[in-house]
Structure 1
C-alpha cells in the first residue's frame, strides 16, 4: 500500500524506508517534470527511497541521464556535485544539465580538461570529469577532488569501474563511498558476471555484500586453478545468481525497452556534442572568417575566372571535410563506448572516407564483427552484407556511406543509428529513416545519435 513502506532485510542491508518521506516530484523544474515518462518517475522515486544511493541500470536509450539529473536537483542544496563520465559524454552532459536545470549558469559548471586543471573546483556547483584522467600519476587532481568533498556524485557508464585492479576504479571508489548521495548509471550491469559488479556495489554500499573474498566465494564460484607448480584463483565464474539478483534488486533498478515499450516514442533522437582541440578550432575559425569575407565581398576570394558560386562551393566542400577530420577522434570514442554494451546492434552513417575509416577502426579495435558498405562495394555484394548483418547476431555494426547505402537496403535488425556526419542535403537524412525503418511495435523504438562539434561551425556542417 502507499503508506506501508518498503521493508529491507536485516544483515543484508534491510531497513524500513517510508514512501511518505520521499520528496515530491512537484519540486522539479516544470519543463523537467513534464518531460518525465512514468517509468522514469518510478526510477527517481526508487532512488529517493534509498536516500539517493542506488544504481539505475535501465537499457540504453531509456533516459538514465534525465532521471539522474532529477534526483541530483532534489538534493541541490547539498552540492557541489561531481559527474564522472566517458570523455565522449562530457559535453552532452553539459547540454542536458543546462536544458533541465534552468538556474544553472555556464560559470556554475566546470569541465576538468587535464590532470592539473583544478583551479575552478572550489567555485563551481558542478564538476564534470572524464574517466581518462583517473590515473595513478594524477595526484594533484585526486587530492583536489578529495579536498572538495563532493556530497553528490553521479557516475555515468559505471561499468567502467568493473575491474578491481584498474587505477580508475581504485581512485573513484573512495570518492563515491564518501558522498552522501551517489547514483551509478549503466546500461550493461553484467548480471551474469558477478566479478564485474563488486566494485560498483562496494562503491555504493561498502561491505554490504561482504569483503571481496566473501563475495567472490559466494557469487563468483571462486576456485583455485593449477598451472604446474603455480596456483591462481579464478573469479570468472558465477554462483548463487538468484540470490545475488534478489539482493541487487534492493539497490538497483533495471527496465528493458520491451517492458516500457508503450510509454516510448517511435524514434528517439539524441545529439552528441564534443569539444574541438585548440588547433582544430583555430583552423576552422580561419575558414569561417574566409566564409564571412566571401559573403560580404563575393568577388574578393578568387581569380577573375572563378565565379562567386564556385568560390563558395569550394569553401563549403573544404569546411565539410574539415569537420570530418575534427570529429573523427570523438566519433571513435563514442562507437567504442556503445560497443561496451555487448547486446547492442547498430548502424553508423558517414559521408567522407576519412570518417568511414575512423568508424571502421573503432570497430576493429573493439574486436567486433562488422560490415561496411561504401561506394567501392559492388551492388551484388551489398545484398550479401545486408543479409549477414540481419541474420548473424555477432555482426553488431554496419558502417555505411550515406550515399551508397541510402536507398534499397533494409537494416531492421538494428535498434540504434549513429550519424557520424550529417549530409548537407537534409533529404538524405530523412531518406535514411525511410530506408531503414527501425523496428518499434514488436521490439524496440529507434534511437538516433548525431555527432556535433561544439564550435562556431554552421549547423549545416
Structure 2
C-alpha cells in the first residue's frame, strides 16, 4: 500500500500525462520531417500507419503514437507497396505510446535483398549554340562549335562545303530550310539561330530582278545619255534594275546627280518628280535639270523657296528642302509624285526628326524613290535603318523591325533607358545585304581611271539668301553698264567688295550643309568679312579648323598645315585666295570650295592645286560658289575668257567652260569681256594690286 494520498497520486498522474503529451509533440515534428525529406531520397518510402491523411495530430492520440512509432519501419521489409497491417495514417491517444517505442526499430533500407530505391538526379548538359550568317549573295555559313553528330548531319546537305582555313561549313541559301530541319533533331544538344526573315525575303526578291546589263537606256534624254561615263551608266542600270528604288552612295564628285536624273528620266511616265535636298543646293538641281534634261520645259520646274509658295498643278519637277518638306507637307502632298529623289539622304538618319517623318510619309505613296548620299552612315549602322526602310518598307515591316535590325547589325543592348543601338555587328553580312538589294557605291579609287584628275563644278547659291536686290547693288550694276572702260575700275572693285557681303549668308548656309557630310575640305575666300563668317559657322558646329590669311606667320603656316593633314578632327581649312594659294600642301582633302571668285585664273588654279598635287591619290572636286545679280555675273565669264586665251597660247590646260553647270550670266547684262580684252598688262597689274590690298 502506498502512503501517498489520493490527491498526491492524481497530481503525479497529471504530471505524467503532461510529460507524455510534450514527448508526443516532439515526435510530431520528427515524423513530419521524415515525410518531407524521405521521398526524394527513395521512391519506396512507406507512410507511417499512425499518421493521418491530413498530416495533423490530435492531442488525445499523442501518447499511443509515441509508443508505436518506434517499431514502425521506414521502408517495407516485404517489398510490398501496401502499408503495414494494423497501421493507420491517423493517430489516437491509445496508440501514441506504442508508436514511440516501435519507431526505434525502424530500418533505413530494405533488407529483403532487393535494390534500394535510387536517388532522382537532374542532369544538366551544356547546349552548343551558334547562328547562321550570310557570306555571299548565294551562300551562308553555320557559325557553331564542334559537334560530331551535327557534322554528320550537315554533310548530308547537297550544297555543303567546308572551308578548312575559316573552319566553317557553308551552304546555298536555297538549302537554308533543309539545314535548319536537319539541326532540329539535335535541339537538346545544338541550338543554331536561322538567318533573319528580312534577309531571306531580300535575297528572294533580288533573284527575280532584271540583270543590269540587259537594260536598254535609249528612252533617256540623249544629252544626258551621251555624257554618262561608264561607271555612271552602270549606276543608272543598277537603279533601273531595282525598279527605281535604291541608294546611290557613290563618293563625292562622282556624279550622283546625273545618275539620279538618268534613272528618274527613265521613269518619266511616272512623273511629277519631287527632289528634296539641302536648302543650299536647290538651285544647283534646277541648273542640272536645265543642263542634262533639256527636253524638260523650264516653266514646269519649280523651286520652292517658302512654305507659302503656291504650287502650280502643271509642275513636272518640284525642288524643295528638307525643312520646307516638313513645314509644307500638306501642300506638297496634294501633288501625286511618282518619282522622289532624296539628296544627301543622311539628313534623315534620325527616326524621330520631323524631316524623317515627313519624308517617310510622302515616299510611301511614290513608285520610285532614289536616295543619294556619299556618306549614308556617318558613324554607326543604325543611321541606315530609316533610309533602307524608305527604299523597301516590306523588308522591314512590323513594329519590331528596328529591334531585329539593331540586334543583328548594331549589337543592340537593353539598358535602363531602353535599347542602345550605338554599336555594330555582322558588318560583312550587312554590306552584302546592302549591295545585293539596296545600294551601289563606288569610291574615287575604284573608278580613278575614268575620272579627270580635277573636276570643276559651279554651284549657284540660293537667291533668297543673297542680298542682290539692294539699292547699293543695283547702283553698281547700273554704273558698270553705263560707264566707260577707263571709269569702270573703281566701280568694279567696289561692286566686288559688297558682293562678298551680299553672298555671305548663302555661303554660310552652303558650308553648314557641307559640314553635315563629315569630310575634310578647303574653303577659299578673299575678304576678311567672308572668312570670319565661314569660321563662325564651323565654330557653331563644334568642329576643328585652321585659318591661314595674310597675318599668319611662316612657322605658323607649317604647324596649321600639319594639323589639317594628320588630325582627323580638323575638318576645314579656311584660306585666303591671295595669301594661301602657294607654298602649302593640303592633300588630306579632295574637295576645294571657292566661296568667292577672283579674276586672275592663274591665282585660282594655284589655289586649287593645294589639294591637287603630289601625294593626292584621288580626283579633286573644285566647287565655285556664284550668286546671280552680283559681280560674279561679270567675273565668271571673265575668268573663262582669260583661260581660253592662255589655252590657245599653250600656257594652260585648264578650261573652266567644262564645269558641270552653265554660266549664270544673264542675257540682259553687259559683260566686261570687251573691256578686259582691251586692257594692257600695266592696267591689269594695277587692278590686281588693288585686290591684294583688300586682303
TM-score by length of 2: 0.59
Aligned length: 431
The answer for the alignment partner of 2:470 in structure 1 is 282
Q: 4+ runs of 1 displaced by more than 6 Å? A: none
- Alignment match of 2:390 (pick from 186, 203, 222): 203
The answer for the alignment partner of 2:280 in structure 1 is 88
Structure 1 pair 431–192 and aligned structure 2 pair: CA distance change class (3 A): closer
Asked if residue 382 in structure 1 is aligned to residue 382 in structure 2, the reply is no
Structure 1 pair 193–9 and aligned structure 2 pair: CA distance change class (3 A): closer
Asked if residue 346 in structure 1 is aligned to residue 521 in structure 2, the reply is yes
The answer for the alignment partner of 2:299 in structure 1 is 107
Kindly name which structure, 1 or 2, has the bigger radius of gyration based on alpha carbons: 2
Once the 2 structures are TM-superposed, how far is the Cα of residue 365 of structure 1 from its aligned partner? 1.7
Asked if residue 426 in structure 1 is aligned to residue 596 in structure 2, the reply is no
Once the 2 structures are TM-superposed, how far is the Cα of residue 214 of structure 1 from its aligned partner? 2.4
The answer for the alignment partner of 1:450 in structure 2 is 624
User: Deviation string for 1:161-218 (max 9, x for gaps)?
Assistant: 1011100100110211211111000000117612211111111111413422322233
Asked if residue 213 in structure 1 is aligned to residue 403 in structure 2, the reply is yes
CA RMSD of aligned residues (A): 2.3
Once the 2 structures are TM-superposed, how far is the Cα of residue 431 of structure 1 from its aligned partner? 2.4
Asked if residue 336 in structure 1 is aligned to residue 512 in structure 2, the reply is yes
Once the 2 structures are TM-superposed, how far is the Cα of residue 107 of structure 1 from its aligned partner? 0.6
Alignment gaps of 5+ in structure 1: 1-6, 299-307
Counterpart-to-counterpart distance in 1, 2:213 and 2:337:
24
Structure 1 pair 50–439 and aligned structure 2 pair: CA distance change class (3 A): farther
* Secondary structure of 2:592 counterpart: strand
Asked if residue 133 in structure 1 is aligned to residue 324 in structure 2, the reply is yes
Once the 2 structures are TM-superposed, how far is the Cα of residue 74 of structure 1 from its aligned partner? 0.9
Taking the TM superposition and a 5 Å limit, the aligned residue runs for 1:119-268 are 119-120=311-312, 122-135=313-326, 138=327, 141-190=328-377, 193-210=380-397, 211-226=401-416, 231-249=417-435, 250-268=437-455
The answer for the alignment partner of 2:264 in structure 1 is 72
Whether the aligned pair in 1 keeps the contact of 2:276 and 2:319 (CA below 8 Å) is: yes
TM-score by length of 1: 0.88
Whether the aligned pair in 2 keeps the contact of 1:177 and 1:204 (CA below 8 Å) is: no
Structure 1 pair 331–46 and aligned structure 2 pair: CA distance change class (3 A): same
- Alignment match of 1:410 (pick from 582, 585, 588): 585
Counterpart-to-counterpart distance in 2, 1:13 and 1:286:
64
Structure 1 pair 20–57 and aligned structure 2 pair: CA distance change class (3 A): closer
* Secondary structure of 1:408 counterpart: coil
Counterpart-to-counterpart distance in 2, 1:336 and 1:439:
27
Once the 2 structures are TM-superposed, how far is the Cα of residue 113 of structure 1 from its aligned partner? 1.1
Counterpart-to-counterpart distance in 2, 1:106 and 1:95:
10
Alignment gaps of 5+ in structure 2: 1-173, 175-197, 637-695
- Alignment match of 1:56 (pick from 245, 248, 253): 248
Structure 1 or 2: more strand by fraction = 1
User: Deviation string for 1:84-124 (max 9, x for gaps)?
Assistant: 0001110111111110111122211001111111332x211
Higher relative contact order (CA 8 A, sep 6+): 1
Counterpart-to-counterpart distance in 2, 1:441 and 1:43:
29
Once the 2 structures are TM-superposed, how far is the Cα of residue 279 of structure 1 from its aligned partner? 4.9
